[in-house]
Amino acid sequence: MEPKRIKRGWMNLRIDKVIPETHDTKTLYLVDAEEGGCVFDYQPGQYLTFRFDHLEAKPIVRSYTMSSSPCQKTHIEVTVKTVPHGVVSHYLCEKVKEGDILRARGPIGRFGYDPQKNAPRLVMIGAGSGVTPFISMLREYTRNGSLAGGAPQEMILIVSYRSEEDLISWDLLQEVQQHLNVKVVVTLSRQHLAGFRFGRIDGDLLSQVLGGDFSNRTFFLCGPEGMLSALPLFLGEQGVAPTHILTESFF
């Protein structure tokens, strides 16, 4: 087995491309400024911490999850959604340009599939920018045939966006559904639209999508605080053990 590639300390990452995703979300392609490409190994679901020395009087740090798949060695991607009055998200979505250097360290985090510990049927539940870890997991699984060295039996993504104009990575979400074991359910919380569910993700929607079968599944939740507190309670009531419920908060 190849040794794991690590880059210690703060890295300089050069912005190679800026891709508009939606009206308020961009994907940045990043490469190592000194060596080019992606020079560290990571697991889908992990994030980098970025440090900005010039945006405010004191340095500020923010984390962004890699939306790329680790099997892409040419670059990494982060997908950033502007939050209202958000200092860093506004800077990354509106101000940066190709060639700029960002300081980052990582990868960090344990929010990912572990074939040794997790049940083989994955249910990934995200809202808004909370879809990013799942984009990475789905890319890795559909392109590489495995995820973190294991092969999940099934991957179901349930994601909520506000409306049609907020659909992050829509092309990719359609593409991955061609894969036999992958299912994607999108619900819009503020717009009725043919082909989409309507409303936020709640227990009723989960029960419908899973046909009431909560067994032998691991649930990954990433989104706003309300969702992260309500859904684990519901899942507990359905008999899902806490060890099979993993959450990641973006706040």
Ligand X SMILES: Cc1cc2nc3c(=O)[nH]c(=O)nc-3n(C[C@H](O)[C@H](O)[C@H](O)COP(=O)(O)OP(=O)(O)OC[C@H]3O[C@@H](n4cnc5c(N)ncnc54)[C@H](O)[C@@H]3O)c2cc1C
Q: CB nearer to ligand X: give 64 or 219.
A: 64
Choose one: 37-45, 74-82, 172-180, 227-235; the region binding ligand X (CB under 6 A). Answer: 74-82
- Exposure string for 183-208, b = 16+ CB within 10 A, e = fewer: ebbbbbbeeeeeebbeebbeeebbee
Binding flag, residue 129, ligand X (CB under 6 A) = yes
Among 23, 85, 95, 97, binds ligand X (CB under 6 A): 85
201, two tokens: 């993700």
193 backbone dihedrals φ, ψ, rounded to 5°: -150, 135
Rounded distance between C-alpha atoms, residue 140 and residue 69, angstroms: 5
129 backbone dihedrals φ, ψ, rounded to 5°: -65, -10
Rounded distance between C-alpha atoms, residue 229 and residue 203, angstroms: 12
Binding flag, residue 46, ligand X (CB under 6 A) = no
Binding flag, residue 80, ligand X (CB under 6 A) = yes
In the shown chain, the binding pattern of residues 6 to 45 toward ligand X, with x for contact by CB under 6 A and - for none, equals ----------------------------------------
Residue with tokens 């979505």, as numbered in its chain: 93
Q: Number of residues interacting with ligand X: please give it, by CB under 6 A.
A: 21
Q: CB nearer to ligand X: give 79 or 118.
A: 79
How many residues does the structure list for the chain?
251
Binding flag, residue 88, ligand X (CB under 6 A) = yes
Residues that bind ligand X (CB under 6 A): 47, 62-65, 78-81, 83, 85-90, 129, 132, 248, 250-251
